[in-house]
Amino acid sequence: MPETLNSSPAKPRVRFAPSPTGFLHVGSARTFIFNWLYARRNGGAMILRLDDTDVERNTDASVNSIFEGLKWLGLDWDEEYKQSDRGTLHRQMAETIFQKGLAYRDFTPAHTGDSERSGAQGTWLFNPGMRELSREESDRRTAAGEPFALRFRVPREGGQIVRFTDAVYGEQVKAAADIEDFALLRSDGMPTYHLASCADDADLRISHIIRGQDHLSNTYKHVLIFEAAGFAPPQFAHLPLLVAPDGTKLSKRRHGPVVSVTTYRDAGFLPEAFINFLCLLGWSPKNDREQMTRQELIDAFSLEGINRANAVVNFKESPSSVVIPTLTEGKGRNLLFAPEDTFDPKALWLNAEHIRSLPIENLTQRLLPIVREAGFNVTPEKMLRITPLIRERIKLLRDVLTAADFFFVDQLPPYDPAELIPQKGDAAMAKKVLEKAQSVLANVEFKHDPLDHALRAAAQELGIKAGQMFQPIRVAVCGRKNAPPLFETLEVLGRETTLARIKMAANLM
RNA sequence: GGCGCUAUCGUCUAGGGGUUAGGACGGAAGAUUCUCAAUCUUCAAACCCGGGUUCGAUUCCCGGUAGCGCUACCA
């Protein structure tokens, strides 16, 4: 078939272009997800491009963190590039623009940075001296080896206007006179972000640029670059920013690990739940749906559903929670992670919802590695029996360690004997219950119904309420008052362990 | 300082010239239950302010305020 004649509508090409200067940030992850959703929804291509033109700040650790985070989220891409490999392309575009007279060499020594940040009123939109330099003079100084930055010659005369249509923010118009003569090339010959980004977007035939709203005002510069280089600008869609409860942009320095994707992974979030949560920040399916699978998100996604106001990630700003070490001390007592109230309550709820809707086998598989890593030897068979007992009781996968701890240990850690005393009862009643329980449980079949009948009958014999019968047993066996339902628990624990623990408890009374 | 973007319950959001302004999380109360969860029911909770346009604005327009972004030879 003559594929050249195939005029099927162009498939969208989108990209995620992080600069590897830190771990994968939750905001970046959301940007990736929205791009990915758009690509998958429309049968397009997802491109991952490392924007690593800032050699000073790039690190391998950061690149790893990005890959690690995306891998955990289970997000894939179709093409991958590194800007540092494409310098030639960038310089070509700069040259093209320069030859057209749309850029000029600026021989002013580079600003020495930092200190003049406060004196920003000294900001200049353009430098007439350099802008007006004759080509001859410019060439002469270049030939003499004088370093220069290449600046875009913004068409500031004649009240010109730059415009583009943003899929989220609508028509955008700005007077060219308000745009500074931004740099294209640094004096060391390296391209700036603006140039490299546009050159690559043009070369990779990116059709839609979906990125953070912090780039909205940069977009005018990008439109200028595209047009100067002879390309039609792609479609733009800017995303509202994710901010902290204090309204400021999320940053590791200010807000700690809650802004890093791996923190959520390590805390026991399900990747699909985390993606679900991120999607609901700044986007809405507009039908009151909240819990959604990956496929449902793909099917529902559209640029029209994106809104314009920044969204707050509602984590707790308690510094203490951030300081708590992730180390485990001793077995049994696994108070290891930052308390769950660190995270956005809605993220937690969504996670719990996703956990509840997972088949037992699947959940078990996800729980097992966590339990083993904490030092407990549990067989998959046993875990498979434990999972249904805790599934409704955990919000994070890691909660398995505190919700099911008593299933994993041989010896229960010490607990307060007073807990054994039932409601409206006393120590004597507790002792009576525990002794009765020993004799009853020595013979009954360890299955839900027989246990239920036997224990209720025993309560009646003792002339106490069922609840008063169950509580001492529960505490004896679990080491605490709050635990999964008793009969199922006993069933999993088995007769031997149950009797041993009750005997120990009886000795405490 | 200049330029721009934004503004609905505490938070995420739906809606839109006339609505009891809807949903969700979280909160409160209750039901259920062997505890805890889960589940169910109920309740409290919002249109930033001021002008205009209009018979009527939370919705449209303008201004203010606030927040955020850009204003680097960072991205």
What is the model's pLDDT at position A332? Answer: 29
Q: Give strand B nucleotides closer than 7 A to any protein Cβ.
A: 1-8, 10-15, 22-26, 34-39, 67-75
CA–chain centroid gap for A321, Å, is 18
ipTM field: 0.96
Distance between CA atoms of A329 and A176, rounded to whole angstroms?
Answer: 62
- Which A residues between 164 and 183 have a beta carbon under 7 A from any strand B atom? 169-170, 172, 174, 178, 180, 182-183
User: CB burial class (10 A; 0-12, 13-18, 19+) of residue A249?
Assistant: middle
> Residue A238 contacts by C-beta under 8 Å, 6 or more apart in sequence?
A166, A168, A169, A210, A211, A212, A213, A215, A216, A219
- Which A residues between 31 and 60 have a beta carbon under 7 A from any strand B atom? 51, 53-54, 57
Per-residue pLDDT of chain A (509 residues; tens, 9 = 90+): 333 444 456 899 999 999 998 899 999 999 999 999 999 999 999 999 999 987 788 889 999 999 999 999 999 999 999 999 999 999 999 999 999 999 999 999 886 544 343 334 456 788 888 999 999 999 999 999 999 999 999 998 888 999 999 999 999 999 999 999 999 999 999 999 999 999 999 999 999 999 999 999 999 999 999 999 999 999 999 999 999 998 888 888 888 889 999 999 999 999 999 999 999 999 999 999 999 999 999 999 999 999 999 999 998 865 433 333 333 333 222 333 455 668 999 999 999 999 999 999 999 999 999 999 999 999 999 999 999 999 999 999 999 999 999 999 999 999 999 999 998 889 999 999 999 999 999 999 999 999 999 999 999 999 999 999 999 999 999 999 999 999 999 999 999 999 999 999 999 98
3-state secondary structure of A183: strand
**How many residues are there in chain A?**
509
Distance between CA atoms of A484 and A470, rounded to whole angstroms?
Answer: 12
The nucleotide minimizing the C1' distance to residue A304's CA is: B14
What is the model's pLDDT at position A339? Answer: 57
Distance between CA atoms of A60 and A72, rounded to whole angstroms?
Answer: 18
The answer to whether strand B lies under 7 Å from the CB of residue A320 is no
3-state secondary structure of A45: strand
The nucleotide minimizing the C1' distance to residue A110's CA is: B73
What is the model's pLDDT at position A330? Answer: 30
Residue at shortest CA–C1' distance from B14 = A286
Q: How far is the CA of A309 from the C1' of B48 (A)?
A: 14
Instruction: Give the H or E element holding residue A300.
Output: helix A294-300
Look at the block and give the residue holding tokens 């994968």. Answer: A24
- The answer to whether A252 is a known catalytic residue is yes
CA atoms within 13 A on the CB side of A403: 20
**Nearest-CA neighbor of A196 among A109, A83, A118, A107?**
A83
Q: What is the DSSP letter of A25?
A: B
What are the residues facing A165 on neighbouring strands?
A: A171
What is the model's pLDDT at position A473? Answer: 98
User: CB burial class (10 A; 0-12, 13-18, 19+) of residue A438?
Assistant: middle
Q: What is the DSSP letter of A283?
A: B
| pTM flag (> 0.90) | yes
Distance between CA atoms of A111 and A100, rounded to whole angstroms?
Answer: 27
Q: Where are the beta strands (DSSP E) in A45-139?
A: 45-50, 79-82, 103-106
What is the model's pLDDT at position A306? Answer: 97
Instruction: Give the H or E element holding residue A295.
Output: helix A294-300
3-state secondary structure of A334: coil
> Residue A78 contacts by C-beta under 8 Å, 6 or more apart in sequence?
A39, A45, A46, A47
Yes or no: say if A240 and A311 are a contact pair by the CB < 8 Å rule. Answer: yes
What is the model's pLDDT at position A118? Answer: 36
Q: CB count, 10 Å around CB of A380?
A: 10
